[in-house]
Structure 1
Amino acid sequence: MIKELIVVEGKSDTAAVKRAVDADTIETGGSAVDRRVIAKIALAAERRGVIILTDPDHAGERIRKIVSSKVPGCKHAFIPEEEATLKGDIGVENASPEAIRHALKHVHTSFEGAPVLIGMDDLLAAGMIVHPHAAQRRMALGNALGIGYCNGKQLYKRLAMFGITPEEFGAAVRQIEQGGQS
């Protein structure tokens, strides 16, 4: 059994998580997360801890930001978009049990006020910003590091927030280069 409660968007996500692992979930009911749901998540964070596992799309990112801004100390699990897509529909409910287990094994904890270990100049040198294939490279990097896809500014913040080291960043960039990602 996973100790932490897993924050998901809806009933289908809960069913998918329960097929993959023995865990309790809290459903946000969509991207308009109301104060009662936030109160439940805050209590869960205090008592057992919380892992946010939302869809790898805009709405999922919005929920992740809302919850983590109101409930500090949340852990984050990410499923790559290609592992959560079925017939054009993106969501946790479409992910295989293996993909969900992998995401939950590789959670990241956000650190408020974390020191910046990887700067914008590092992102530029690695082709993560101002590069013809920067979006594809960020997608591959997010998948390699298990931090999800984001734009350049969010990537900079996320690398600091999750305490990604220069060594981890460098290894992921080398993996992208060897994999032939532009």
Structure 2
Amino acid sequence: MRIKEVIVVEGKDDTAKVRQAVNADTIETNGSAIDDLVIAQIRHAKEKRGVIIFTDPDYPGERIRHIVDQHVQGCKHAFLPKKHARANKDRGIGIEHASIDHIRQALSLVYELSDPALSEIEKDDLISFGLIGGPSASERREKLGDRLHIGKTNGKQLLRRLNMFHITKDQLGSAMNQIMQEEKNEQ
């Protein structure tokens, strides 16, 4: 599988793992202290080929995603669920621990951001599905993030991400109905 865009990852281990899964070029941020040179490289890659931000599903990875997205607008985003980014309980979380298949799947489900002014989903929709303000809201948001391949979020981030990635009310409703049915079957 050949990826046209340049993939932004955190480090050399991520680059090695991504290259095992797909034929792609990467830019490494070398952590969250992203310097101006790396931002300039990402900006140049975005102009020439496009960019996919593919960071670890943890706080530092989300911070890097946010920094890059703020400085280089119009990037695409790929997300790997935490459960697929962990080799075992003793090791950290990261793309370098994911299987080849999970990396390919994440890169095949890339999202482009849209204008938040065109949002369709509202806070009341999240409340009605128990995604914010309820006892199991965090767990439901994590399940929804995995199902829609948009990553784990808090309540405020979820609303923004759903709308930025053009998730429709119907898609949200369908995903939540499946999650609620699974929860019902688990009881």
Q: Which whole-Å CA distance do the structure 2 matches of 1:69 and 1:115 have between them? A: 19
- Kindly provide the amino acid, as one letter, of the partner of residue 168 in structure 1: Q
Residue 114 of structure 1, CA deviation = 4.2
Q: Which whole-Å CA distance do the structure 1 matches of 2:170 and 2:31 have between them? A: 37
What's the TM-score once normalised by structure 2's chain length? 0.94
- Kindly provide the amino acid, as one letter, of the partner of residue 148 in structure 2: L
Q: What corresponds to 1:130 in structure 2?
A: 133
Q: Which whole-Å CA distance do the structure 2 matches of 1:175 and 1:17 have between them? A: 31
Residue 3 of structure 1, CA deviation = 0.2
Q: Which whole-Å CA distance do the structure 2 matches of 1:14 and 1:120 have between them? A: 37
Superposed, 1:9-158 pairs within 5 Å as 9-88=10-89, 89-158=92-161
What's the TM-score once normalised by structure 1's chain length? 0.97
1:114 and 1:163 in contact (8 A); partners too: no
Q: Which whole-Å CA distance do the structure 1 matches of 2:98 and 2:9 have between them? A: 13
- Structure 1: any 5+ residue segments left out of the alignment? none
1:41 and 1:71 in contact (8 A); partners too: yes
Give the 3-state SS of the residue equivalent to 1:41 in structure 2: helix
2:54 and 2:78 in contact (8 A); partners too: yes
CA RMSD of aligned residues (A): 1.2
Percent identity between matched residues is 54
